[in-house]
Structure 1
Amino acid sequence: MQGFEADAGLASVKLVASDMDCTLLADDGSMPSNMPELIGALADAGVTFCAASGRPLYTLRAMFGDYVDRMALLSDNGAAIWCAGELVFKDLIDVATYHELIDFTLADGRGCPVVCGIESGYLRTCDRVHDAFFRRFFTEITYLDDLDSLDADVNKYTVYFPEGDSEEVFARTYRDAWAGRFSVTTAGPEWIDFMNPHVDKGRGIKRLCDHLGISTADALALGDTYNDVQMLEAVGHSYVVANAGEHMRAHARFMAPSNNERGVARVIEALLAAKAR
């Protein structure tokens, strides 16, 4: 696999989309210190930066703070898209259907149901024991004694596996039960994510490109794990970070330095240098 320096077409890029956990964010959860300046420099060069994540929209907005209106957010694996201060797309799971998913998770007994609403994440009070971990991903959490009466606008359903065995559970139980009705993916060892069948990061990037009036051939994406595959395959410039699993290399053309080496920032710096030539 070629290194990121081998991408000769960087000057044509008009959209940079990056996964968050284990891609943009280091293992300690920190963002490159110069990201505000890089996002601003990209915007000044006519390039949109997009954080493409399984995290909810309100969490991403809080993470990017004052410069969020100069960029795009693809949240909940593409179930909501925010661009330049405006919500341009949302896709909701109907109430009866997400209650089916809750019931399935509870009957299986191995994971914690997390109902991802537009305004809040909804969890059972008995799962508050994991609150410190949940707060890394959900800045707004509503705890309920049970989820039986929940009736909220929901665009993703996810299951948290405290034992870190999501990939095994997905392969043995969830994939065959639900893949025909949902876009289902693991998002690291702790999560299985459910979106409506026409929702994933790849379709999200295509929707964002349509909104921006650009071609996916002029989009660049960086990722590290399974829920990034469709996004990497949708764009003209596909990168995995060096810390990604070996299986991810089949889905990208170039390799960026690892998340701890601030690989996303280094690719953006190379892009800006190519634009300046």
Structure 2
Amino acid sequence: MNAKLIALDLDGTLLTSRGDVSERNVAAVQAVADAGHHVVIATGRPLHLVADLGGQLGTSVSHVVGTNGSMIGTFPDGQLLRLMGFDIDLAHRAIATFRQELPGTGFAIATDAGMAHERGFAQRMPAVVDTDPTDDVLTLGGTEAFKLFAFHDDMSVPALLRAAPALLPETLAAMHMGAEAIDIGLTTIDKCAGLQWVCEQLDVSAADVIAFGDEWNDITMLEWAGRGVAMGNADARVRAAANEVAPSNMADGVAVVLERLLG
């Protein structure tokens, strides 16, 4: 069997609803790594919000494709290998338009000056956000943005996604990141693009990639991979993009498929 690259989304896929990795999933991931396959995390989370999984996954995972493809690093040490950003003026334009057209929209932003988030963002995240909120993310400064998030108390994520295209500069697009916020970034950067870069470094072809996911931001990598696996808890659009549907994240769906891979 050729060496495979296993790409694993976290929230709703590898992780339980409690935010941890089940013993069966830990064992399955370690087994495929021991068999010589590459294991890569592909997540909407930035690298520092993946580090807490090091105790469970150890050295079975080699890379993290973070913030939906714009940040790539090694695991578990978190060494940054690649960072893709966009001009801060684009982020400022998007924020100004959302505030004008959709009053009440809140934001979080990561730039070369750091990260800032407004009230309500931390409560929407699946992992702990360990910094205090600010009244206005635009006070952060910087010259390059790496990630922009938007949320609204009175609008669902699907509603924000429908509204976003008319409010964003043409080089930016919005995705669902798996939490109660939308993720805004370059149209050319997503999990699939990040995985392609990692595959080039490891000399792995798309045909030898098995990708697992459950959210809209997983669709492009499920379609690109030689084998796309949607979780049983994924919505219909994600399941339609996959080659197969595994049991849910709460039923160790990742382990079920990986155990079958190893025979």
Deviations 1:99-125 (A, max 9, x none): 22222333322432011357954113x
Find out whether 1:249 has 2:239 as its counterpart: yes
Contact between 2:8 and 2:42, CA under 8 Å: does it hold in 1? yes
Aligned residue in 2 for 1:202: 192
Alpha carbons of 1:105 and 1:64: their partners in 2 closer, same or farther (altered >3 Å)?
farther
Q: How does 1:92-131 map to 2 (within 5 A)?
A: 92-107=85-100, 108-117=102-111, 121-124=115-118, 127=119, 131=122
Query: Could you list the runs of 5+ residues in structure 2 that have no partner in the other structure?
Result: none
Q: Secondary structure at the match of 2:23?
A: coil
Q: Give the TM-score normalised by the residue count of structure 1.
A: 0.82
Amino acid corresponding to residue 174 of structure 2 in structure 1: V
Number of corresponding residues: 258
Q: Hey, what's the Cα distance between the residues in 2 that align with 1:63 and 1:139?
A: 15
Query: Could you list the runs of 5+ residues in structure 1 that have no partner in the other structure?
Result: 1-10
Q: CA RMSD in A?
A: 2.5
Alpha carbons of 1:252 and 1:242: their partners in 2 closer, same or farther (altered >3 Å)?
same
The structure 2 residue matched to 1:213, chosen from 203, 219, 241, is 203
Alpha carbons of 1:140 and 1:154: their partners in 2 closer, same or farther (altered >3 Å)?
farther
Q: Hey, what's the Cα distance between the residues in 2 that align with 1:251 and 1:148?
A: 37
Q: Hey, what's the Cα distance between the residues in 1 that align with 2:112 and 2:219?
A: 24
Higher relative contact order (CA 8 A, sep 6+): 1
Aligned residue in 1 for 2:171: 181
Q: Hey, what's the Cα distance between the residues in 2 that align with 1:239 and 1:179?
A: 32
Aligned residue in 2 for 1:170: 161
Q: Hey, what's the Cα distance between the residues in 2 that align with 1:121 and 1:65?
A: 25
Find out whether 1:141 has 2:141 as its counterpart: no
Q: Hey, what's the Cα distance between the residues in 2 that align with 1:118 and 1:64?
A: 26
Contact between 1:181 and 1:196, CA under 8 Å: does it hold in 2? yes
Amino acid corresponding to residue 196 of structure 2 in structure 1: K
Contact between 2:45 and 2:68, CA under 8 Å: does it hold in 1? yes
What displacement does 1:23 show? 1.4
What displacement does 1:151 show? 2.3
4+ residue runs over 6 A deviation:
none
Q: Hey, what's the Cα distance between the residues in 1 that align with 2:54 and 2:153?
A: 28
Find out whether 1:260 has 2:250 as its counterpart: yes
What displacement does 1:174 show? 0.8
Aligned residue in 1 for 2:180: 190
Q: Hey, what's the Cα distance between the residues in 2 that align with 1:117 and 1:81?
A: 16
Aligned residue in 2 for 1:90: 83
What displacement does 1:45 show? 1.6
Aligned residue in 2 for 1:31: 21
Contact between 2:165 and 2:173, CA under 8 Å: does it hold in 1? no
Contact between 2:151 and 2:180, CA under 8 Å: does it hold in 1? yes
Find out whether 1:54 has 2:44 as its counterpart: yes
Deviations 1:199-220 (A, max 9, x none): 0111111111111111011000
Alpha carbons of 1:225 and 1:158: their partners in 2 closer, same or farther (altered >3 Å)?
same
Alpha carbons of 1:89 and 1:157: their partners in 2 closer, same or farther (altered >3 Å)?
same
Contact between 2:7 and 2:210, CA under 8 Å: does it hold in 1? yes
Find out whether 1:78 has 2:69 as its counterpart: yes
What displacement does 1:36 show? 4.1
Q: Hey, what's the Cα distance between the residues in 2 that align with 1:265 and 1:36?
A: 8
Q: Secondary structure at the match of 2:245?
A: strand
What displacement does 1:77 show? 0.4
What displacement does 1:31 show? 1.8
